[in-house]
Structure 1
C-alpha cells in the first residue's frame, strides 16, 4: 500500500467513543494501513460528547470558514484536528454548532432520533469532501463506517461526478449491526435532490430507516466489508445482488495483512 491515499470516514472511533466494533476498527485499520506505507486521513463528526480539552482538539483556521448549503440554508463549516496518543494518527473533526453541539449523539435524552439527523449526515458528507479538496489530498480509496457516513458515497459519485479530483477514488463500505430504531426525516430524498442526487438512492430513502441508509451507501460502493460476524440478513441479501467484492469479517489481530490484500488485490485492480 506504499503511497496509496486512504480516506477513512467514520462516526465512531476510539479514544473519542467507547469501544464498539466500529470505534475499534476505525482506529486499528487506519493504523495498520499507515504502518503498511499508506497515506491515511481520518474524518469524523465533532459530536458534543467529545471532550475537546481532554483530547486536545484545536481548530484549523485555514480549513474552517467556508459555508455549506444544506436544504437551501448556509451552514458554517468548522474543522478541528487532534492526534491520537501514541498512534501517529491525526483525526479531522467536522463541526458545526447547529448540528453537533449537543449532549447526545444520534438521539435526545428520551431516545428519540434528532429530527435533523438527515441534514447532519448531509453536512458531514459535504464537509468531509470539501475539506479533502481544500487539503489538495486526492484519495485513492474512500472507506466509510457508520450510517451517518452513508451519504459520503452518494456525494462523491454524484455531486462531484464531474470533478476530476474524485473521479478515480474507490468506495468501500464497512457494515455493522448497529441499527437505530425508527426513521430519519422523510424529506431526506428531496434534500439530496436539491444537490442533484437522484436515481436509485431516492427509492431506498422513501422509508429512511437504518437499512435504507446502509443500502444508500452500497448503491455507490466498489467493495464492502463485514465489520462484524453478524450483520442484518436484509443487508446480506442485498449484497448478493451487487457485483462487488465483499470481505468477510476479520478479527482485529488479522486486519493488517487482510486489508492490505483486500485493498490491493480486490479493490485497486478493478477496471
Structure 2
C-alpha cells in the first residue's frame, strides 16, 4: 500500500455504527468500494453514546491529547476498530455522550472540537492522507483549519480537501461569537470565507476552503446553483462551479440482494418473481392489510415537507379512491405523524402507518411492495429509489436531483424505463404519475414484469461511483 492513494473520510456518522440518514449510509458504503479498488481509505467519526455497542467489540484505545477551544480544554480520546478499513472514533463524553447526534445549543463547539481533534489525530497516528474527504457542515471546520493553521506544518502542507454536500438545506449556521471559539484569525470572517448573513456558517467554510466540492448527483449540482435550491449559497456555488462535481451515490449490492437478504422472508431474483409475490402476501399479513391482489404503494421516509408529504396530504383521499394499498414507515413532524395515523383509521385494512423505524420492516416493504413513492420537493441523491429498484419495486418519483438521474419513464411501446416520473410539484402531478404506473400494472402480469425486470436490471452499486471519486482524489493529489 506504500504508493497507493491515501484518503481519510471524515463524517459525523457512518453505518453500521450510527446513522440518521443518507450520509451515514454513504460513509459506511463508499469506503468499502474504494478499498476494493486499492485505495488506502480510513474513516473517522465521533464516538457518540448511542453508537451500537455490538459494533464496538474489538475497539482499541490508541491514545489521547488535549484540544483547546477558547477558555475550555477537553481531552480527545482516539479509538480504532481494526479492519481492512480502519474506523477511528473521537471520544469525548462532554460533547458526544448524549442521546442524540445533532440539534444541541453548542453544536458549534462540538464540531469545532471534532474538527481540531481530526487534525491532531493525524499527527498522533503519523498518517497524513493525500486527500481529506469531508462530508456536510459538521466537517466544514476541518477544511478551514487545514488552510488557516495546519497547512504551515510540513506534513500537512500537501494534503488536499474534498468537501461533499449531502443536503445543502442543513448548513450549521451559528452566532458571530463562534469566531472566538474557533481560534482562527478574524479576517476569515471579514473576508467572507465563513460569514453568512451575519452568522458563521460551517457549510460555507467547507465550500470556500475545500480544494474541490462535490455533491451527490449531477442534477443536484446544477440545481444548487439556483435560488430555488441554493438556500442562499447559490452565489457561492456559482463562483466555484469550476471545482464543483456531481457524483451519484450508490448502495451496497451485497447486503441488499433479494436473493440472499436475511431480513426478507422469501428470497427471489428477476427470473423467479414468484418469491416477490409471496413477500407481498406476507407483508399484507404482517401489517393487517386485506389479503388480495391489489397494488401496494410503499413509502419509507422522514416525515417532512421536503419529502413531498405536503402535496401527498392534499390528494391522499383521491389516491385512495383508486384500488390500492398504502404502507408508510418513518418518523418526523407531528402533523404528518397524526395525518398518517388518522388515514390508517379511515382506511382500515388498506393503509398501514408505521410511525417508527425498523430495518427489517423496511426491507420487507422494499421486497413486498409493487410501487415506491418519492414525490420529493428536492432530493440531492435519494437512496430509497435505489433500494426499491434492487428489490423490483417500481419507483414513482418527482423529476428532481438524484431521482432525475436514476429513474427513467417506462414506455409500453419501447419496453424501456425503470419507473414513472412527474415534474410539476403538486398533487395533480403525483396522481398523474401514479395513474401511469397503475395503467401498466393493470395491463397484465407480463407488461408489469417488464418494468419490474428493468428496475432490477438497473445498477446503482458503488463500483462506478467509487471510480469517479478516485479520479477526483487523484486529480487533487497530482495537482490538476
Specify the TM-score bucket, using the shorter chain as the normaliser: 0.7 to 0.9
Structure 1 gaps of 5+ residues are 108-113
Matched, 1:189 2:188: no
Question: Among 190, 194, 204, which residue is 1:215 paired with?
Answer: 204
Matching residue of 2:421: none
Runs of 4+ in 1 over 6 A off after TM superposition: none
Matching residue of 2:79: 80
Compared CA separation, residues 27 and 215, structure 1 to 2 (3 A): same
Q: Compute the displacement of 1:249 (Å).
A: 3.1
Which of the pair has the greater relative contact order for Cα pairs under 8 Å at 6+ separation?
1
Per-residue CA shift, 1:11-35, capped at 9, x if unaligned? 1211123473311221222222222
Q: Is the 8 A contact 1:117 1:185 kept in 2?
A: no
Compared CA separation, residues 52 and 71, structure 1 to 2 (3 A): farther
Matched, 1:58 2:59: yes
Matching residue of 1:203: 195
- Helix, strand or coil at the partner of 1:201: coil
Matching residue of 2:279: none
Compared CA separation, residues 181 and 124, structure 1 to 2 (3 A): closer
Q: Which moved more, 1:16-25 or 1:94-103?
A: 16-25
Per-residue CA shift, 1:157-183, capped at 9, x if unaligned? 112131111111111000022634984
Compared CA separation, residues 59 and 224, structure 1 to 2 (3 A): same
Q: Compute the displacement of 1:150 (Å).
A: 1.1
Structure 2 gaps of 5+ residues are 251-460
CA distance in 2, matches of 1:197, 1:52: 41
- Helix, strand or coil at the partner of 1:139: coil
Matching residue of 2:97: 101
CA distance in 1, matches of 2:96, 2:44: 14
Max Rg structure: 2
Per-residue CA shift, 1:97-118, capped at 9, x if unaligned? 11010011112xxxxxx12111
Q: How many residues are treated as equivalent by the alignment?
A: 255
Q: Is the 8 A contact 1:48 1:105 kept in 2?
A: no
CA distance in 1, matches of 2:187, 2:89: 28
Matching residue of 2:238: 240
Question: Among 135, 151, 155, which residue is 2:125 paired with?
Answer: 135
Structure (1/2) with the larger helix percentage:
2
- Helix, strand or coil at the partner of 2:248: coil
- Helix, strand or coil at the partner of 1:179: coil
- Helix, strand or coil at the partner of 2:122: helix
| Equivalent residues in 2 for 1:163-174, closer than 5 Å | 163-174=153-164
Question: Among 461, 464, 470, which residue is 1:260 paired with?
Answer: 470
CA distance in 2, matches of 1:35, 1:47: 28
- Helix, strand or coil at the partner of 1:161: helix
Matching residue of 1:147: 137
Q: Which moved more, 1:115-124 or 1:48-57?
A: 48-57
Compared CA separation, residues 47 and 198, structure 1 to 2 (3 A): farther
CA distance in 1, matches of 2:7, 2:466: 14
Per-residue CA shift, 1:199-234, capped at 9, x if unaligned? 2334238324xxx32111111111111125535424
CA distance in 1, matches of 2:54, 2:249: 33
Q: TM-score, normalised by structure 2?
A: 0.49
